[in-house]
Amino acid sequence: MNIGELRNVNGRLIGSIATRTIDLPRIGLNPVQNDNPRAPKYEVLALNVARRWVQIGAVWEATMKRSGEQFLAGSIDDPSLPEPLSIALFPAADFDGYMVAWRRDTMRSDFGTGFGASNYDREVQGDRTRSGDRRDRGDSGFGESTAGARGELVGAGGPDDLDDDMPF
């Protein structure tokens, strides 16, 4: 999925990246000057709220296995992100620059079997389960319900049991 583009502006690669939750309206690629063959090709920089350029990632030269086409691959990371964002930069056909794409490395398993297999699901073999499995105990892993038949709160105390010392 394309999430941005970088254009050659006066000899500098400048552009933006935007997703539903990330908006980097001004990013740039700074060439890395290093003789080490394992060094990144570019640092990925972003303009922060104080209007200073800060490094948020790096990209390396890569080659597609099937076609041999060259592209750049790396990641963007920042303390505000829950995890690094893997990106790939492909030469743009329409202009002098790159299209920025991303992909999730593995299928998400935090939503159960509908979105990828979890370790729990891999342990279950058909209708048979291993001894001590949560399904043997009738436990979904979330504990006992606190909702009664009509939706009322049961088994967890009432509103009088709330801790008033909590700030929220």
Q: What is the pLDDT of residues 28-55, one digit of tens each?
A: 999 999 999 999 999 999 999 999 999 9
Measuring CA to CA, which residue among 60, 55, 1, 50 is closest to residue 27? 55
pTM of the predicted protein model: 0.61
135, containing H or E segment? helix 134-137
CA-CA-CA-CA dihedral for 20, 25, 29, 30, to nearest 10: -130
CA distance 6 to 41: 15
Rounded Cα–Cα distance for residues 5 and 27 (Å):
9
5 in Cβ contact with 94 (< 8 Å)? no
pLDDT in tens, 91-137: 999 999 999 999 776 554 454 444 444 343 333 334 444 444 444 44
- HSE-CB of 115 using CA atoms within 13 angstroms: 7
